[in-house]
Amino acid sequence: MLIKKPDDIRPSEITPESVYLNRRQFMRGLLGGAALAASGTALALPKPEFDGDLPVYPGPDWLQAQLRAGERNTELSTDEAPAPYQHAIRHNNFYEFGTRKTDPSRNAQQFVTDPWSVEIGGEVGKPGTYPLEDLLKPYRLEERIVRLRCVEAWSMVIPFVGIPLADLLKRVQPNSRARYVEFTTLHDPQQMPGQRSVFSTLDWPYVEGLRIDEAMHPLSFLAVGMYGNALPPQNGAPLRLVVPWKYGFKWVKSIVKIRLVEQMPNTTWNRAAPDEYGFYANVNPAVDHPRWSQATERRLPSSLFQPNIIDTQPFNGYGEQVAHLYRDLDLTKWF
């Protein structure tokens, strides 16, 4: 099975940006524009609220309390408009819950994401299995509005909430043999229909990885929320990776294991089709996917009449921050 490049968004699914943006403007009014604009100011993160039956995911009590104390990291946020909330929760890739864009939002609603523990091991001084609540306790959550660019050539702007990955890694004390970080999604075929499907050609569980310097970069982020609430199950609750300069398949969801290792991890998509999905997967308009161009992307929401095609930027527009990591690497070979 290969990642498809679908044209599956019906114009009827798309609601004007004003729904989400009006809400934000309302919150700005409440909180004062200056408070929102200033980095480091504690505030209740703006949450989407809609008429109708759109689900929001408050998460467990301890997470709600931390979300309330969250703050926006304006320095590491784009000022582009976030996708309307309903779009971000209904256009998903999460093959454990099916291969169509609407499958995860349909099939993941009963997915149990609390309580949740994460096993951290390998080349670290403090290995252990940590309840998620304990892992997050020391941190003030931050919101980062980032661009998600899928290898299928669509993209979305999403306000994620979480912590810098480096903060967590430093706490478990990586040793000098820790050259890569490997992340593993939950393996639970009972809950995840895609993992028990006879048609699936992916090896489960889903595994992704980063080089240690990539993992320690300030843009690498572990998300526990989005749009001011907990992560919806279809978006990778309760814990997912956010690496905005890399294609979306690196943004592994529902993480249960983090291992610091010496060898480059054998990652899921790279194993499935090594000539199509490299380990690095840095967004690169100059290196096409063997079956389609990566020069442009469809920024969602889009429609037949307003396809909203934009040029893809090297490193998804984060080149200034991350290009130096790859100074000595031939990016056509290490795609």
Judged by CB, which is closer to ligand MTE: 93, or 282?
A: 93
Contacts of 32 (CB under 8 A, 6+ apart): none
d(CA 109, CA 168): 28
Judged by CB, which is closer to ligand MTE: 148, or 168?
A: 148
Interaction mask 93-132, ligand MTE, x per CB under 6 A: xxxx------------------------------------
Interacting positions 135-164 with ligand MTE (CB under 6 A): 148, 150
The one segment of 53-61, 248-256, 283-291, 322-330 that binds ligand MTE by CB under 6 A? 248-256
Bond from prior residue into 205 cis (ω within 30 degrees of 0): yes
| Candidate list 20, 204, 206, 318; residue touching ligand MTE; CB under 6 A | 206
**Applying CB under 6 A, does 92 fall inside the site for ligand MTE?**
yes
Interaction mask 24-63, ligand MTE, x per CB under 6 A: ----------------------------------------
**Applying CB under 6 A, does 251 fall inside the site for ligand MTE?**
yes
Per-residue H/E/C for the chain = CCCCCCCCCCHHHCCCCHHHHHHHHHHHHHHCHHHHHCCCCCCCCCCCCCCCCCCCCCCCHHHHHHHHCCEECCCCCCCCCCCCHHHHCCCCCCHHHCCCCCHHHHHCCCCCCCCCEEEEEECECCCEEEEHHHHHCCCCCEEEEEEEECCCCEEEEEEEEEEEHHHHHHHCCECCCCCEEEEEECCCCCCCHHHHCCCCCCCCCCEEEEEHHHHCCCCCEEEEEECCEECCHHHCCCCEEECCCECHHHCCCCEEEEEEECCCCCCHHHHHCCCCCCCCCECCCCCCECCECCCEEEECCCCCCCCCEEECCHHHHCHHHHHHHHCCCCCCCCC
The one segment of 11-19, 40-48, 69-77, 247-255 that binds ligand MTE by CB under 6 A? 247-255
Judged by CB, which is closer to ligand MTE: 93, or 123?
A: 93
**Applying CB under 6 A, does 277 fall inside the site for ligand MTE?**
no
| Candidate list 235, 282, 294, 316; residue touching ligand MTE; CB under 6 A | 235
Distance of closest approach, residue 235 Cβ to ligand MTE, in angstroms: 4
Judged by CB, which is closer to ligand MTE: 196, or 324?
A: 196
Distance of closest approach, residue 181 Cβ to ligand MTE, in angstroms: 15
Q: Which residue is nearest to ligand MTE (CB)?
A: 248
Judged by CB, which is closer to ligand MTE: 123, or 195?
A: 195
| Candidate list 249, 277, 318, 326; residue touching ligand MTE; CB under 6 A | 249
Catalog residues that contact ligand MTE under the rule CB under 6 A. Answer: 3, 92-96, 148, 150, 185, 206, 235-236, 248-249, 251-254
